Amino acid sequence: MLSGCPTISSRVLKMGKGGDSAFGDDSILETVRANVLKKPFTKTELENLIKESLKGQDAIVLQDELLGEYVTETSNKLDELKGETNARYDLLIKEIPSEKKIKKLEGDNLAWQQAIKEREKELNTAREEQLKQNEKTFNNRKHYIERLLKYFYVGRLLNYPVESFGNGSEMVPAVFLGFIIDHKKKNPYAPSAMKLRFAIANSSKYLAMPGSYSEEIMAIIGATADTEQPDMETLLNEWDEYTKDNNVDRKIRHIVTGNLLQAFSDVKGKLVSYTTSDGQVKKGILMPEHWNPGEQVQDKVVVPIQKALPIIKSLTASNQIVTNNGLSIFKTGSYFKLIISAARSKGGDIYLDKDILRLVEKNNFEKTADKMVAMLPENRIDDLVALLQDHHSCSITISTHQLNNLQKGAIRHNNKKKIELPPTEQEDRSQKKNVISLLELEAEALVLELELLAAA
């Protein structure tokens, strides 16, 4: 949990739809100064970890020994699996005469012998296929594991890719600390069983990554391809330089607070609890360490379309807004022009909505090239926006200076439905009496009407 996080600044990232629950609140992006609870290893700590992993051996010698152990282990495992497979099929062949289909032919000796031969041939073919499949599986896994064992050795300098979002991937120096292989496990060299250990020159500090994380491991290998390998003394001397920027007591971080459920669809982070400088405990989405809001995120806010109604009404000729589902709204004279993709998967929800069709001219969208177009009278824009909000949860992205204008007349509606209590027993009896009386009066009126018709 993060602690002692004074807020430096905050801004609305995504406005809520309103309503009486917390799910109607805004999602807020807060910039805080957080205490750094985990710092990179120091030069001395890294040196001790490397020595502990090497156990007095040379890194390359240790690597060759591990590779040799793996080759031997894999060969033994494959032989063991071959033996199990052969034993299973030998037993099946031995038990052929006991199979129901074969036993039915015991009265016809020639047919019985022929059936046994065909069944034995079938099982031997299946045995060969199984043996080939086993070998193929082992070879595929062997190729991958051997690549890891040949590439990573204790003390190797690596580039560890860290996603920085706005700026692509940032490379953080890291040092390989060795493999974790538990020989007590049935298959210790299975990718999911073995782990690769890394010391990382940022607040991540240490990582033990399962060998089954092939995508992440291949990314490290790819990022390190052109990295020169220093000797151990040079590596340790440079480690302090690598970690200098991260050996601080406090660091600027970004946390999304408020309506977290709404924010999870737009931001990529980790749900955390943190304490503010005044001791309050809050929950938020902690953005990655190297995440930078950037100019595009800093100046944009996602707003529910109903709250953006003043902006839509103030559109001038030929100007437009575009919703999150691709609906463009233009102002043309005393009409609003609605344009959306003709592809049913993209725009069908809008141009097939019966309630929307009742509002637009000719009660229909017309196809123009790859778009569907409709004209909406200016005086129906409020009704359209209400439908876009309630039926389709539309939103638009605006600049922060536009948000200031919206907040003066922000729309917050009560979306709770009144819960009607069931009538009391006395009220229920009273209601039933009223209904019976009404039915009796209707019956008397009907009889009277029939008598009048008969008299006529």
Task: For residue range 15-30, list pLDDT tens digits in order.
Answer: 776 655 555 677 778 8
Tell me the two tokens of residue 149.
């064992």
Q: Are 339 and 328 in contact (CB under 8 A)?
A: yes
In degrees to the nearest 10, what's the CA dihedral of 88, 187, 129, 93?
0
Mean residue pLDDT across the chain: 82
Would you say residue 335 lies in a domain?
A: yes
Would you say residue 441 lies in a domain?
A: no
Would you say residue 186 lies in a domain?
A: yes
Predicted local distance difference test score (pLDDT) of residue 424: 60
Give percent above pLDDT 90 in the chain. Answer: 34
Query: How far is Cα 201 from Cα 46, in angstroms, rounded to an integer?
Result: 10
Alpha carbons within 13 angstroms on the beta-carbon side of residue 369 total 4
Mean pLDDT for the stretch of residues 344-357: 91
* Segment among 127-136, 199-208, 396-405 with least mean pLDDT: 396-405
Instruction: Looking at the structure, tell me whether residues 64 and 199 fall in a common domain.
Output: yes
Would you say residue 416 lies in a domain?
A: no
Q: Are 173 and 157 in contact (CB under 8 A)?
A: yes
Q: Are 267 and 256 in contact (CB under 8 A)?
A: yes
Distances (CA, A) of 50 to 47, 154, 156, 180, 244: 5, 7, 10, 14, 20
Q: Are 269 and 50 in contact (CB under 8 A)?
A: no
Give 301-336 as a 3 state SS string: EEEECCCCHHHHHCCCCCCEEEECCCCEEEEECCEE
Predicted local distance difference test score (pLDDT) of residue 246: 64
Would you say residue 264 lies in a domain?
A: yes
Query: How far is Cα 452 from Cα 144, in angstroms, rounded to an integer?
Result: 98
Predicted local distance difference test score (pLDDT) of residue 68: 93
Would you say residue 139 lies in a domain?
A: yes
Query: Which pairs count as long-range contacts for 115-124, CB under 8 Å and 24+ apart, including other chains?
Result: 120/93, 120/96, 123/89, 123/92, 123/93, 123/96, 124/89, 124/93
Tell me the two tokens of residue 178.
């060795």
Q: Are 19 and 413 in contact (CB under 8 A)?
A: yes
Instruction: Looking at the structure, tell me whether residues 158 and 260 fall in a common domain.
Output: no
Predicted local distance difference test score (pLDDT) of residue 396: 85
Q: Are 381 and 336 in contact (CB under 8 A)?
A: yes
Instruction: Looking at the structure, tell me whether residues 183 and 47 fall in a common domain.
Output: yes
Instruction: Give the number of other Cβ atoms within 10 Å of residue 350's Cβ.
Output: 24
Instruction: Looking at the structure, tell me whether residues 156 and 177 fall in a common domain.
Output: yes
Instruction: Looking at the structure, tell me whether residues 135 and 184 fall in a common domain.
Output: yes
Q: Final residue of a domain: which of 246, 263, 285?
A: 246
Instruction: Looking at the structure, tell me whether residues 192 and 73 fall in a common domain.
Output: yes
Would you say residue 322 lies in a domain?
A: yes
| Edge-to-edge strands, sheet with 206-210 | 157-163, 169-180, 195-200, 206-210
Instruction: Looking at the structure, tell me whether residues 151 and 209 fall in a common domain.
Output: yes
Predicted local distance difference test score (pLDDT) of residue 411: 47
Tell me the two tokens of residue 394.
């539309």
Q: What is the CATH number of the domain that holds 403?
A: 3.90.1150
Mean pLDDT for the stretch of residues 377-399: 88
Parent domain of 259: 7-36+248-298
Q: Final residue of a domain: which of 408, 425, 450?
A: 408
Query: How far is Cα 60 from Cα 176, in angstroms, rounded to an integer?
Result: 13
Instruction: Looking at the structure, tell me whether residues 253 and 240 fall in a common domain.
Output: no
CB proximity list for 54: less than 8 A, separation 6 or greater: 62, 154, 155
Instruction: Looking at the structure, tell me whether residues 44 and 167 fall in a common domain.
Output: yes
Instruction: Looking at the structure, tell me whether residues 171 and 231 fall in a common domain.
Output: yes
Would you say residue 447 lies in a domain?
A: no
Tally of structural domains, the chain: 3
Q: Final residue of a domain: which of 246, 262, 280?
A: 246
Query: How far is Cα 324 from Cα 304, in angstroms, rounded to an integer?
Result: 10
Instruction: Looking at the structure, tell me whether residues 332 and 263 fall in a common domain.
Output: no
Name beta bridge partners: 281: 275
Instruction: Looking at the structure, tell me whether residues 223 and 166 fall in a common domain.
Output: yes
Mean pLDDT for the stretch of residues 368-385: 92
Predicted local distance difference test score (pLDDT) of residue 138: 85
Tell me the two tokens of residue 242.
């690598």
Q: Per residue in 396-427, pLDDT tens?
A: 887 767 766 665 444 444 444 555 556 666 66
Query: How far is Cα 212 from Cα 214, in angstroms, rounded to an integer?
Result: 5
